[in-house]
Structure 1
Amino acid sequence: MARPRQALLTRERIIEAASALVDEEGLEALSMRRLATELGVQGPSLYNHFGTKAEIVDAVADAVIEQVDLTGFGTYEWPEALSRWARSYHAILVAHPNIVPVLATGPGRRPAALAMAEAVFGALVDAGWPPARATHIGALMRYLVTGSALGSFALGFDIDPQLYDQYPHLHRAPLLAAHHEAVDEAAFELGLDLLIKGLSAQKALFAHEGEISR
């Protein structure tokens, strides 16, 4: 009988395997040798598609960003579009926390990340925000989303109740870990709500003063 042919090695297969490895074990587990083993190929074959590990990491990061929903831009007014995008972005990063440190450095040369930046910046400028302020808002949104996904605030406290004997206002801190998802999600939603309301108020004030067109 003929031997079964090995599945064709493609960029997509490499990115999928690398993404799974990063999700399961972290960035430190990713290497060309380990990835080749996971794919059942010889290491040199990976270099037909990617020149370095850094290129693979970039591809994994961009594959994550491709999952972010941008359809709100051009469909809703800027506050609703920004909120929908931020929630989608946040949910995707929470689902792939190990790649967040890479994404936090900025879009670099990644196509999906640049397309996302274009969508956000373009929507803000089209809504009447000056380019400089639109840049500030885009940066602020990224700080909120990536910062909230970098680590859990609620999991940052030890569960030993005796530790907090000298910190009376923190006596309930050991309880946070058991509810960390709800606490962290509520904190993100509070920050997003306040941010959008604050920006809306600022734009209304500037529009009234004639500094921003409606």
Structure 2
Amino acid sequence: MTAAPETRRPAGRPRTAVLSHERILAAAFELADVRGADFTLAALARRLDVRPSALHHYFAGKDELIAGMRGQLTARIGDHGFDALPWHEAIVPWARAYRATFGAHPGIIAALATLPVADEPESMVDYERIAAAMRRDGYPEHRIVPALVAIESFVIGSALDSLAPEDNLRPTSNIAIAPTLSAAELAARAHAAAAGRSAAEETFEFGLAALLAGLLAAAQTPAAAAPAEPR
């Protein structure tokens, strides 16, 4: 009996590109890193060598795609022990991971920060974890969301600041116009170097500690217990 001839895959690229959520998101990050958040689905399709209609089998539109990008980044941030640690301790490694993860993709930060979270599951789970820890630890319920937004706003700003030059605030053309600022900027960079950190890292750590101290203190004041009565 003669054996059937072996079927071989034709040489060269497959006629139909193999798509997946992961492959599309990876390409979207690559594109956003180069072009920012204003890239189009048509440009993404060209990068993946597929028709734009193929992307709609996975994402209904660009907003849904960006939500998926946010979800993937949020999943990379991790838990950091909110179930076991006081919220203000667990939030420190969370904020560091958030800054590093989002800072790796600066082109998409603005879109990620302004798009409503809606029902994007990874982000909702992350926020729920933090909110539950804050309520468990007795943080005033009506202050939980404002506190969380304040922390996130600071972290996102710090992620962008990490991309700026180390001496971003140093006067260059005319130091005489701002001698106090010039001296303070030099002192800040020297202090960061002595601590083995970049100026951006030292600024982030100082700002995060100050913000958390303020949020904890504000929770203990009578004004935090209930909204002020309108006059």
Question: TM-score, normalising length from structure 2?
Answer: 0.74
Deviation at 1:138, TM superposition (A): 1.1
Q: 1:23 corresponds to which residue?
A: 33
Residue 11 of structure 1 is aligned with which of 8, 18, 21? 21
1:2 aligns with 2:9: yes
> What amino acid sits opposite 2:19 in the alignment?
L
Q: Aligned equivalents of 2:150 and 2:182: distance in 1?
A: 32
Q: CA 1:171–1:78 in 2, change beyond 3 Å: closer, same or farther?
A: closer
Q: Which residue of the partner structure matches residue 57 of structure 1?
A: 66
Q: Is the 8 A contact 1:161 1:174 kept in 2?
A: no
User: CA 1:55 to 1:200, structure 2 compared with 1: closer, same or farther past 3 Å?
Assistant: closer
Per-residue deviation, 1:148: 1.6
Q: What is residue 206 of structure 2 aligned with on the other side? A: 190
CA contact (8 A) 2:66 2:112 kept: no
Aligned to 2:160: 150
Is 1:37 the counterpart of 2:46? The answer is yes
Show the counterpart of 1:87: 96
Taking only the aligned residue pairs, the percentage that are identical comes to: 29
Q: In 2, distance between residues paired with 1:153 and 1:164?
A: 24
Greater CA drift, 17-26 or 156-165: 156-165
**Contact 2:71–2:120 (CA<8 Å) still a contact in 1?**
yes
CA contact (8 A) 1:93 1:149 kept: yes
Could you give the per-residue CA deviations for residues 151-204 of structure 1, whole angstroms, max 9, x where no partner exists? Answer: 459538487732434222344669999x9x81111111001112223344455x
Distance 1:78 1:67, change over 3 A: same
Deviation sequence 1:52-108 (CA, Å, 0-9, x none): 222222211221122112232112122211212112112212222222212322523
Counterpart residue number, 2:5: none
**Whole-angstrom CA distance in 2 between matches of 1:145 and 1:199:** 15
In structure 1, the gaps of 5 or more residues are none
Letter in 2 for 1:2: R
Q: 2:138 aligns with which of 119, 128, 136?
A: 128
Separation in 2, partners of 1:154, 1:167: 20
Which deviates more, 109-118 or 164-173? Answer: 164-173
Aligned residues: 205
CA contact 2:117–2:123 (8 Å) conserved in 1? yes
| Kept in 1: contact 2:175–2:182 (CA 8 A) | yes
**Contact 2:77–2:97 (CA<8 Å) still a contact in 1?**
yes
**Structure 2 match to 1:164:** 175
Secondary structure of the residue aligned to 2:19 is coil
For 1:2 and 1:167, locate their aligned partners in 2 and report how far apart those are by CA, in whole Å. Answer: 70
Distance 1:43 1:199, change over 3 A: closer
Shift of 1:10: 1.5
Distance 1:77 1:66 in 2: 21
CA distance in structure 1 between the partners assigned to 2:140 and 2:20 by the alignment: 43
Measured in 1, the distance between the counterparts of 2:212 and 2:49 equals: 48
Larger Rg: 2
Report the Cα offset of residue 19 of structure 1.
1.3
Q: CA RMSD in A?
A: 3.2
TM-score, normalization: structure 1? Answer: 0.80
Q: Distance in 1 between matches of 2:181 and 2:218?
A: 35
